[in-house]
Structure 1
Amino acid sequence: MNAPVIMVAPNGARRGKADHPSLPINLNDMLATARACHSAGAGALHLHVRDSEGEHSLDAGRYREALAALSAEVPELDLQITTESAGVYSPHEQLDCLKEVRPKWASISVREINRAPELAEQLYGLCADQETRVQHIAYDASDLHLLHDWRQRGVVRPEQDEVICVLGAYFPPRAGTPDELTPLLPLLDGLSFAVCAFGPQEEACLLAAAQSGANVLRVGFENNLVAPSGTLWRSNADAVSSLKARFERNAA
């Protein structure tokens, strides 16, 4: 089994220091987390930035500042921005974020863009033109069906073939389980897929995904704060290190 890339998602859009004192909010916290997670085995980082009040933001200036600082601090990490709406941003604002930031890599929810389907071709065309690598977010089978429809109609370009499957849910809270991936696998044929999972079975879900051919495993405080033992993780880096060690043991 080829070793998948471990991507760390250190904070997400909604959690704060009250949820975990080591959850990174400001840029200095994020730089320290990125260094530690890369040392622990992460090859990529899923980036959320926050505003001055610590709330979710798609501000282009904050993204450019964070990307520049992270690239200088940990140049070996592949950096991916989120375009998540989090109930705050419209598809037009998500499109504007992509235009202004011009990231190398972005995660984009097909469900969220489908709120304004007339923008979809423009958005994916923009990403193709500015060479922004796209990772589509799929929360369930219906999202994967929509992605296949857009690919067949040319809305999504052939090279935009990456997808991340989300097991479980943030709200209403639902923990992911490894068996959730099984019915999705036929819909992942022809796609390069990643997996993330909410809740304490996060690690078990990711190891099952690796066995099924996932090439990116996303771990971190965005989705889960709890170790398989039921105790709180001390840090994002500990979650990365544990996943890497268990994968290596299983692959041996």
Structure 2
Amino acid sequence: MTRPFIMVAPNGARRGKGDHSALPVTVPELIITAASCYAAGADGLHLHVRDAKGDHSLDVGLYREATSELAIQLPNLQVQITTEAAGIFDVPHQFKCLQELQPKWASISVREMARDLILAPKVYDICAENNTKVQHILYNTDDIELLLEWQKQGIVKATQNSVLFVLGRYTEGQVSTPDDLIPFRKALPDITDWMVCSFGPQEHACLANAAVQGGSVRVGFENSLVTSDGIQHADNAASITALIRTIEQLKQA
């Protein structure tokens, strides 16, 4: 088993310094964190930007600032922007962000797009026109059914076939286990471009299990702050280092 593609999600939309002092909020902090994570073994960055108040933002200017600086400082790190609504943004806001920014890579929730069935097809159209790679965020098998239906209807293009399985998003306490992957894999047995993220102390166990099955992994403070013993990681880079060690141990077992 070769080492999987590792994406770091260093902050997310909801956590802040009160959750962990090393969680990056500003663009300069994101750049520093991205550099340390790349050195630790990250291949990609799942990018969230924050406004002046530290709140989740889809501001195109902030995204341009962050992605431009990342391209200069870390040209080999692949950057994926988020379009997450986080209870703040509607589909027109998400469409506007994608249309104006024209990112190389974006994560898009089919569940969120379904809030606007008129605009949803245009979201996937604009991504195809701008060569923006789409990663579909899937929280459960209902989301998979929706994605498959939209693929059948041609709303989602044939080339837009990358997915992220989110394990445990709606479990009690948002605590994931490796078995949470089973229904996703059964529903999409032939998928080749897939990634996993998970929550809680078993984050690394879940990701290592996915890696054994050929999946890519997303790790970081957006999803979990702690080790399997419930102890906080020093920072995002430390979590990546620990994950790689867990994967190597599993590979040797």
Shorter-chain TM-score range: over 0.9
Q: Relative to structure 2, which stretch is displaced further, 179-188 or 220-229? A: 179-188
Q: Relative to structure 2, which stretch is displaced further, 96-105 or 190-199? A: 190-199
Give, as a single letter, the amino acid of the residue that structure 2 aligns with 1:199: G
Q: Relative to structure 2, which stretch is displaced further, 42-51 or 175-184? A: 175-184
Give how far 1:188 is off.
2.0
Give how far 1:212 is off.
2.1
Give how far 1:172 is off.
6.8
TM-score by structure 1 length? 0.97
Alignment of 1:1-252 (within 5 A): 1-169=1-169, 173-191=173-191, 192-214=193-215, 216-252=216-252
> Is the CA contact (8 Å cut-off) linking 1:27 and 1:66 kept in structure 2?
yes
Q: How many residues align?
A: 251
Give how far 1:189 is off.
2.8
Give, as a single letter, the amino acid of the residue that structure 1 aligns with 2:3: A
Deviations 1:113-171 (A, max 9, x none): 00012212111011011000000000000001101111111110111000001111279
Give, as a single letter, the amino acid of the residue that structure 1 aligns with 2:93: E
Give me the whole-angstrom Cα distance separating, in 2, the residues matched to 1:240 and 1:9.
10
Give how far 1:176 is off.
0.9
SS at match of 1:196: strand
Deviations 1:34-63 (A, max 9, x none): 000000000000000000000000000000
Q: Relative to structure 2, which stretch is displaced further, 21-30 or 185-194? A: 185-194
SS at match of 1:148: helix
Give the root-mean-square deviation of aligned CA atoms: 1.3
Give how far 1:13 is off.
0.2
TM-score by structure 2 length? 0.96
The alignment-based identity, stated in percent, is: 48
Give how far 1:23 is off.
0.1
Q: Which runs of 5+ in 2 are unaligned?
A: none
Give me the whole-angstrom Cα distance separating, in 1, the residues matched to 2:39 and 2:229.
23
> Is the CA contact (8 Å cut-off) linking 2:37 and 2:236 kept in structure 1?
yes
